Chains A and B, each alone.
Chain A
Amino acid sequence: MKRRLTPLAARALFSLALAGCATTGGGGNVPVAAPQQIVDPAPRPGAPLVLIAMPDSSEFLDVRRTLVAEIRKNFNVSTYVVGPSTTAKDFGQELAKVAPTCVVVMNNATVNLLREVQHARAGAGPFPPTVVVMSSFLEELRPTLTNATGIAYEVPGVTAFINLRSISRAPLKRVGVVYRPPFRGFIERQERLAAREQIELVKTELPKDFGAGELRAALQSLLVDKHVDALWMLNDNGLIRSREFLDQTWRAALRDTRVPLIVGVPNLIDAQSPLGSIAVVPDHEALGLQAANLIFDLSSEGWDAQAHDVELPLSVKTVVDVKQLSATVGLKDDALRHIDKAVE
């Protein structure tokens, strides 16, 4: 008869792939997201209520699961599923009905609904503090919201660079990046963070409108003239567009070079059709813990969300094209121990 031995290990959550994690460590297995039901914990009399407004797809459920597990002993939780047909009026009615002490809002569409509700209720008394997660460019969104803070969704470049540097045999001192003008502020913040780790962000701003030829030339300049050690591709649809566009730009520029490409989405790591060398993506379950900590902080600070800076995400997962990275910069002997998913 088989017995279960249960180790608590590594403070990492990648073995929890059964619950829908995006990656698993080293084994190359593709996790299958198990269906998750939304069941709020039984209410506790007198406990403050946290309303979680979110879509019901798997990555949001992963965040919610951890968040609820962390706060359920101290707070009541009510989950409001936001779908494509949800209107600001619907959301406003839910807020009025449950009267939460704090609201957690996931994704940009839900943030947009929240903004509409806040505008409609402007002058009608204070609005509950809001924690925003899984929304793009929160720093830029925040001024449009009332009493809101949250956790940025974009993985900081420096986090990705350190993850590459820690498994790579080759030095990583200069990372090239191309960006569109709206990303200038974001890039400047990334530059300062990278400098703390002695990594220079070598940046090229593209014109507002550009074609494949201009992007390819900018990438080639970074590779050939500026001798960057790696390229970093931002999660910007303007830089990715389509498979054909990727072929004409990123693939064309990187062909015949030994420079790794850092990406922010796992589907650009494909051993059959190589492009990205390492993807560094948010760890959604750990994001739930960070959101829970933020709620505890706000609770102890009088729920003044506006006074709380937007936090950067702390936890990531890595997906690596092992063959490509071995052939370009080489992998350290213990590299596989530090990779969440090795694609071979």
Chain B
Amino acid sequence: MQLDTKSSILEKTLQARLPGLTVTVFGRFRDFQDAFASKPPAAVLAVSPLLEQEHQRVTIQGTRGGKDWEPYVLVSVGPMKSVDGKTVGIVDLFGHDGTQAFAASLLKTNDVKIKRVAKIEDLLPLIEFSAADAILIPQAGVKRLTERTRLPLTVRELPNGRFGLPAVGVVDPAARDAVVRLIEGLDAQTRGLIGVEGWELK
């Protein structure tokens, strides 16, 4: 997920709001992938495309504004006519190959060099240092970005740049009821921290 909160704060908050569950927040895709492979958890909370990549069915889908997806946007310093041949930064959501493919599908071109970063706030330095020509972020991240920087940003919506919101996939069927009950019981503030307004049971 690409949230406007440090992962340790998120872990602490979720742990307090989800009694009976042990919550582990992974800050990097590889750590999540390794832990998932070696010791599968009872459930996973992640953006739904990641669940799909890990072959996990969505049990509860997060929603915001009545939608289960959010648009992705391309942000550059000043206007940019074309991304062809350019360098574009993105948070590493799916590992090297997966993130490259994801970015290419959003931009509808393979003629682009992708730079992956670990955290959403690391995208700003990319354009600040001119290490990338543009960055890809969820539209919800634009507000925080413009609060942080004085760079003259140009935000361009990407046609069909739809990206699934956070969702929960239950890995251990025996934990399903407990997980669903606890997730559905999260208060509005905690849901806001995760980036959703409500849940939809699948």
| A227 CB–B CB distance under 8 Å | no
Alpha-carbon distance between A166 and B150 when the two chains are bound, in angstroms: 11
| B28 CB–A CB distance under 8 Å | yes
Residue of A nearest to B5 (CB): A337
Asked if B119 contacts A286 (CB within 8 A), the reply is yes
CB-CB under 8 A from B83, the residues of chain A are none
Residue of B nearest to A289 (CB): B118
| A208 CB–B CB distance under 8 Å | no
Alpha-carbon distance between A8 and B56 when the two chains are bound, in angstroms: 14
Asked if A13 contacts B22 (CB within 8 A), the reply is no
Closest CB in chain B relative to A286 CB, distance in Å = 4
Asked if A289 contacts B92 (CB within 8 A), the reply is yes
Residue in contact with B29 in the complex, picked from A5, A8, A297, CB distance below 8 Å: A8
Alpha-carbon distance between A218 and B20 when the two chains are bound, in angstroms: 57
Asked if B9 contacts A314 (CB within 8 A), the reply is no
Asked if B7 contacts A9 (CB within 8 A), the reply is yes
Asked if A289 contacts B150 (CB within 8 A), the reply is no
Alpha-carbon distance between A6 and B32 when the two chains are bound, in angstroms: 8
Interface size class of chain B, counting residues whose CB lies under 8 Å from the partner chain:
35 or more
| A4 CB–B CB distance under 8 Å | yes
Closest CB in chain A relative to B128 CB, distance in Å = 6
Closest CB in chain B relative to A152 CB, distance in Å = 10
Name the segment of B38-46, B68-76, B102-110, B156-164 touching the other chain.
B38-46
Asked if B26 contacts A4 (CB within 8 A), the reply is no
Give the residues from 1 to 37 in chain B that come closer than 8 angstroms, CB to CB, to chain A: 1-12, 14, 18, 20-32, 34-36
Closest CB in chain B relative to A193 CB, distance in Å = 7
Closest CB in chain B relative to A328 CB, distance in Å = 21
| A15 CB–B CB distance under 8 Å | yes
CB-CB under 8 A from B96, the residues of chain A are 70, 73-74, 292, 296
Alpha-carbon distance between A213 and B201 when the two chains are bound, in angstroms: 68
Asked if A2 contacts B24 (CB within 8 A), the reply is no
Name the segment of A23-31, A111-119, A235-243, A260-268 touching the other chain.
A23-31
Binding site for A on B (CB under 8 A): 1-12, 14, 18, 20-32, 34-36, 41-47, 50, 91-93, 96, 113, 115-122, 124-126, 128-129, 131, 147-151, 168, 172, 175, 178-179, 182, 194
> Can you give 26 A-B contacts (C-beta < 8 A)?
A2-B22, A5-B18, A5-B22, A5-B42, A6-B35, A6-B43, A7-B10, A7-B14, A7-B26, A7-B46, A9-B26, A9-B27, A11-B2, A12-B8, A13-B31, A13-B118, A14-B6, A15-B25, A17-B8, A162-B149, A197-B128, A286-B117, A286-B122, A314-B122, A314-B129, A315-B125
